[in-house]
A and B are shown apart, each in its own frame.
Chain A
């Protein structure tokens, strides 16, 4: 079931990428050449916002109010440590041998001295955290980020990153370990990751929403810039900077 879901997501990414040149369904003028599906994207964005305000944000706020910070940090550390094998694989695929070494070191230290990943002992030991994903790997290999997409629940993405998300699911060794009731484990882990991320960004997203004249366009800009920086591993490419 896990593999067929991942395959479906990858197929969706490829199909949508192929549809990029199809006619824009919106009657409004296109504002951005990298967003030919803007009409559809805005509708999905609005739907995601409604769901976020009605369900996700209140749940995250309750989580923050009820669960003390050390416990929440423990959950975050545990979930982050589970992602280490995928990060390690992508570090190698990108040719980042030093980073791969750091990832392996982090995983080993945190899984053992960090009590199964609950405590981040690796960062104070001089192994800083970073994440790598297959969408980023594809970007490093030269795959572009157009067209911009907003998908239900997952939010901002593009065919490359969507394909990458599915590929990471294939690559994750934790999806092949014989866990009884795997479906519940997958849903539990996925749900915990969404909740953890949302809880850590309550104020940031509130500020963004508060100060934005067009939240859809803000989110689009943030996503694309953030992913580009992630692919460049934080190195500023001054050629991309507009004249001021």
Chain B
């Protein structure tokens, strides 16, 4: 076969290659099945949180303020706080419960910022969802490192429990590698109250101290990926 005859094949191969790459890109960009409303909510909104944490061009104070606004708009902090209180929410005085909720809000912002900081710069990819009940879903995502570093570990699965509240979605719990943070908080708060005579103001004060400590320590922790 002389050189002139193979030119059309080379061109055709080039066209086919371009087509394959385009189809592959489209397949990656658009999921095969349409996202459910809960999945769309998570993929559109949660990534914003990681982006805020990754923004080191603004001051720590400003970043913290932005993350706080983001967290309070995305989650139902009151519902989460009451969940973590467990049985004590029925026996404690309403004023004590309100003080606890405020302290919990500060604590949650500080702790979640600290724990999620190590994932800043990564991307969340929604992989599916499971219905828990009507208007109650668990959306599964995985954290993808854009630099492709895996360090030999499995990609981390992060699940979001989202609930429909008056027509809009809120996040009520997060699980990282199978561990639900809300459940962990409930277990430690219940244990603390049992060890401290069910003294809710004592727990509230402890949370305020912890929030301050975590915030103070947060400036020193710049995670390396």
List chain A positions with a Cβ less than 8 A from chain B.
28-29, 31-32, 73, 76-77, 80, 120, 123-124, 128-130, 203-204, 206-207, 210-214, 216-218, 220-222, 225-226, 228-230, 232, 234, 236, 238, 241-242, 244
List chain B positions with a Cβ less than 8 A from chain A.
79-80, 83, 107, 110-111, 114-115, 118, 130-132, 136, 138, 140, 150-155, 157, 159, 161, 163, 172-173, 175, 177-180, 182-184, 187-192, 194-195, 203, 206-207, 210, 213-214, 217, 221, 223
Name the B residues within 8 Å of A76 (CB-CB).
Answer: 151-152
Q: Are A217 and B187 in contact (CB under 8 A)?
A: yes
Q: Are A241 and B138 in contact (CB under 8 A)?
A: yes
Q: Are B194 and A238 in contact (CB under 8 A)?
A: no
Of the residues B152, B184, B189, B214, contact of A129 by C-beta under 8 Å:
B152
**In the complex, what's the smallest C-beta–C-beta distance from A201 to chain B, in angstroms?**
11
Q: Are A220 and B187 in contact (CB under 8 A)?
A: yes
Name the A residues within 8 Å of B192 (CB-CB).
Answer: 213-214, 217
Name the B residues within 8 Å of A128 (CB-CB).
Answer: 150, 154-155
A42, B132: Cα distance in complex, Å: 35
The total of Cβ contacts below 8 Å across the A-B interface reads 122
Name the B residues within 8 Å of A120 (CB-CB).
Answer: 152
Name the B residues within 8 Å of A129 (CB-CB).
Answer: 150, 152-154
Q: Are A28 and B195 in contact (CB under 8 A)?
A: yes
Q: Are A221 and B152 in contact (CB under 8 A)?
A: no
Interchain residue pairs with CB less than 8 A apart (13) = A28-B195, A31-B194, A129-B152, A129-B154, A211-B111, A214-B188, A214-B192, A217-B190, A217-B191, A229-B177, A229-B178, A238-B138, A241-B180
Chain A residue at minimal CB-CB distance from B221: A203
Name 10 extra pairs, CB < 8 A, besides A28-B195, A225-B180. Answer: A28-B194, A32-B190, A80-B152, A123-B150, A124-B150, A207-B115, A211-B114, A217-B190, A226-B177, A244-B163
